[in-house]
Structure 1
Amino acid sequence: MRVIVIGGLGNFGARICRRLAMEPGLELVATGRKPVSGSTFFGPLSAITTAPLDIDSPRLQSQLADLRPQLVIHCAGPYQGQDYRVALAACAVGAHYLDLSDGRDFVADFRANVHTAASAAGVLAVSGASTLPGLSTAVVDQLSAGWARLDSVQVAIAPGQQAPRGEATIKAVFGYAGQGFKRWHNGRWATVHGWQNLRRFSFEGIGQRWGAACDVPDLELFPARYPGVREVSFHAALELRIQHLGLWLVAALRRVGLPLPIAQHAARLNRWANVLLDRFGSDLGGMRVRLKGVGADGRGVECTWQLTAPGGNGPEIPCMATVLLACKLARGQLHQTGAMACMGLLTLDEFAPEFARWGFAQRVEHTVT
């Protein structure tokens, strides 16, 4: 299978390229806005080739057609504010499509905008093939299987300070600081604000961290996927409190109407963080999903799943759903066509070999009341 990775020279795209290069039968082409030699970027022994591609070019579809893709992986975020030109171009040239979008509206509206084109082309187009909702859905599905009722879903991600950060991720983080968005609370929609709603979280092997509310696809998708759920929340738990304080302050100033266009300075701020703050953090990150509900026996149940990611390898987690789906497509194990968010296409058990590959540890705790 010939795979074109758009943004393949970026933080997540390069990781996906390197991982898929381990799989037999895949021909990988990493694209970027500027031409770079594959042997220079990925190493002289790498079989990954490179090509220039600009997703904002009016010739995107023809440029993509020239690359003869069978699968297009879109890693060129941030996805907030993007349209669906990449997915539609992939469908137009008869290629499957995957993206790592963490943009709430982008993922939630993906099917409505792409399904007709994907179905007509006979291809599968999947958005959010990443931590959220790709991995988070797999966790919730497995942990709540057999329950009589699922009442609440609480997701928190705790990145290690020293783990590499992409500029697109930083732009997305800054983009919704202080912005109001809806989350499902007590069975109805309530407004919260980005990088506010601070709460304390405990992570096994990591310790206590403050977490702040972030706008993610799960907040929109989970109330519909899990009928009867009354609470869905997501928080990002940064390692250094000074960063949380800074983002909280920026968010608070935006809420009172002060325009702070910090997203345009994402690259510079990321460099400052690397120089000034990384020395005070660690390379240990993690993810936690806590569910509450009623078990099949009618008793209350609480279940907490945690993933611990050492060695600065936490950024591999957002890549795993795309890697797994690409491999399944190459092996002919996915027969669906049309467009959808990444829910129900992967099981938690399918992630386990990837966790083991990077030395990640899973832990599950059940409490019955």
Structure 2
Amino acid sequence: MNAQRKPGFYLALLSTLFAVSVVVLGAFTRLVDAGLGCPDWPTCYGHIWAPQTELEIAMANEAYPEIPVDLNKTWPEMVHRYLASTLGLLIIGLVVIAVRNRHREGQPVKLPIFLLAFVCLQGAFGAWTVTLKLWPQVVTAHLLGGFTTFALLAVLTFRLSGLRFPALSAKRVRRVLKPLAAWTLVAVIVQVFLGGWTTSNYAALACPDFPKCQTQWWPDLNFQDAFDFAHPIGPNYLGGQLEIPARTAIHLTHRIGAVVVTVLTLALAFVLVQQRQRGWALLLTGLLAAQVALGISNVVLGLPLIVAVLHNLGGALLLLSVALLNVILNRKEVAYV
């Protein structure tokens, strides 16, 4: 494996690491119920940070009586906003570098431009998360957008790194590895969506036991309300609006999705070992094992904050790994034997 780095590599690497902090703090903000720590956007109770003096807090409480000031919740919300804004500035820098070097062979240009457009859309979803009072559809889309931004920045970093990988068996890759990797990626994306839908509907503790749910293998479930994506706009969704059977259906579906992802990821790792790609196999199985352990711990330990945040991060890293493997398998530069 050799490398010939292209312009923008170090900025892309910094942006990827920065995106990790945005994903982690976003998870922290949701889990401490600080999504409405500031009920307006882009300011916080009309301030660039948060109201501080007694007079400012009194005026803020008068303006937003339904969401009184809680300084323990305003700071994670505002730090998250400023980190996300800084990430946008870094991506603008990547676009400038890409355009300036567009005539260099192999220099990615479309991906940085797409990333800039996507992060602008992500900013809009961040605003709608607040203004639509944690509407589950928007919260879930915002989470998916954060994971996607992180994955795309990592892919850009890989492309700018100039890394090359050992030769693979063309026949085996075409018939088995590429389709399996693609289906695994689809399963992980669906599972990330289910995780987002679980957290945005406050269903993480709908099943407080494991492996059963409410001491049963198949408790009372309401799938119709659980996956009704036409929730009305207007109510404050902090704490959730669904009844227990609907939340239980969401939680149990997320568990079933975890089983599907586990089977596909292990199958993918097995094929990678056959292809003498033990590093990739170990990476995927390690991330999978950590995710499963964290998911179970969330249930049996009652959703401790650090475990829940790490579970979000683990999902992002598993998505990134499978996505990057798919990119590698579909790149023209991959050598075959």
Q: TM-score range by the shorter chain?
A: under 0.3
Larger Rg: 2
> TM-score, normalization: structure 1?
0.25
- Structure with bigger helix share is 2
Q: Which has the higher strand share?
A: 1
